[in-house]
Amino acid sequence: MPNIKSAKKRVLTSKERTEANKAAKSALRTAIKKARADGADAETIKSASISVDKAAGKGLIHKNKAARLKSQLAKKANA
Protein backbone atom coordinates (compact mmCIF):
# COMPACT_ATOMS: atom_id res chain seq x y z
CA MET A 1 0.00 0.00 0.00
CA PRO A 2 1.36 3.47 -0.85
CA ASN A 3 2.34 5.96 1.84
CA ILE A 4 1.44 9.18 0.06
CA LYS A 5 -2.15 10.32 0.43
CA SER A 6 -2.73 11.00 -3.28
CA ALA A 7 -1.25 7.61 -4.21
CA LYS A 8 -3.62 5.90 -1.76
CA LYS A 9 -6.52 7.72 -3.39
CA ARG A 10 -5.36 6.64 -6.87
CA VAL A 11 -5.29 3.00 -5.73
CA LEU A 12 -8.87 3.23 -4.49
CA THR A 13 -10.22 5.11 -7.50
CA SER A 14 -8.47 2.85 -9.98
CA LYS A 15 -9.98 -0.17 -8.21
CA GLU A 16 -13.45 1.40 -8.45
CA ARG A 17 -12.98 2.25 -12.13
CA THR A 18 -11.71 -1.27 -12.85
CA GLU A 19 -14.83 -2.77 -11.28
CA ALA A 20 -17.11 -0.38 -13.19
CA ASN A 21 -15.34 -1.09 -16.49
CA LYS A 22 -15.49 -4.83 -15.87
CA ALA A 23 -19.24 -4.66 -15.24
CA ALA A 24 -19.87 -2.50 -18.30
CA LYS A 25 -17.78 -4.76 -20.54
CA SER A 26 -19.61 -7.82 -19.23
CA ALA A 27 -22.98 -6.18 -19.95
CA LEU A 28 -21.78 -5.35 -23.46
CA ARG A 29 -20.72 -8.95 -24.10
CA THR A 30 -24.10 -10.18 -22.83
CA ALA A 31 -26.00 -7.78 -25.11
CA ILE A 32 -23.96 -8.88 -28.13
CA LYS A 33 -24.44 -12.55 -27.26
CA LYS A 34 -28.22 -12.08 -27.01
CA ALA A 35 -28.28 -10.24 -30.35
CA ARG A 36 -26.28 -12.97 -32.07
CA ALA A 37 -28.50 -15.74 -30.70
CA ASP A 38 -30.89 -17.55 -33.01
CA GLY A 39 -34.31 -15.90 -33.14
CA ALA A 40 -33.10 -12.51 -31.90
CA ASP A 41 -35.58 -9.79 -32.82
CA ALA A 42 -34.74 -6.41 -34.35
CA GLU A 43 -35.20 -4.60 -31.04
CA THR A 44 -32.55 -6.76 -29.33
CA ILE A 45 -30.12 -6.15 -32.18
CA LYS A 46 -30.77 -2.40 -32.07
CA SER A 47 -30.20 -2.22 -28.30
CA ALA A 48 -26.94 -4.17 -28.70
CA SER A 49 -25.84 -1.69 -31.34
CA ILE A 50 -26.57 1.19 -28.97
CA SER A 51 -24.59 -0.57 -26.24
CA VAL A 52 -21.64 -0.91 -28.60
CA ASP A 53 -21.77 2.84 -29.34
CA LYS A 54 -21.85 3.71 -25.65
CA ALA A 55 -18.91 1.40 -24.90
CA ALA A 56 -16.86 2.99 -27.66
CA GLY A 57 -17.74 6.45 -26.39
CA LYS A 58 -16.55 5.55 -22.89
CA GLY A 59 -13.34 4.05 -24.23
CA LEU A 60 -14.14 0.47 -23.21
CA ILE A 61 -13.57 -0.76 -26.76
CA HIS A 62 -11.77 0.74 -29.73
CA LYS A 63 -13.85 2.69 -32.24
CA ASN A 64 -12.86 0.35 -35.08
CA LYS A 65 -13.97 -2.67 -33.06
CA ALA A 66 -17.26 -0.90 -32.38
CA ALA A 67 -17.74 -0.27 -36.09
CA ARG A 68 -16.96 -3.91 -36.87
CA LEU A 69 -19.42 -5.19 -34.26
CA LYS A 70 -22.16 -2.85 -35.47
CA SER A 71 -21.57 -3.96 -39.05
CA GLN A 72 -21.89 -7.60 -38.04
CA LEU A 73 -25.08 -6.88 -36.11
CA ALA A 74 -26.56 -4.94 -39.03
CA LYS A 75 -25.71 -7.78 -41.40
CA LYS A 76 -27.56 -10.19 -39.11
CA ALA A 77 -30.53 -7.84 -38.82
CA ASN A 78 -30.82 -7.54 -42.60
CA ALA A 79 -30.44 -11.26 -43.23
pLDDT at position 67? 97
Domain locations along the chain:
5-78
For residue 43, give the nearest of 27, 31, 30, 54 by alpha carbon: 31
Q: Where are the alpha helices (DSSP H) in 1-79?
A: 5-36, 42-58, 63-78
Q: For 23-55, write each residue's pLDDT tens digit.
A: 999 999 999 999 999 888 889 999 999 999 999
pLDDT at position 31? 95
Superfamily name with CATH number, domain 5-78: Ribosomal protein S20 (1.20.58.110)
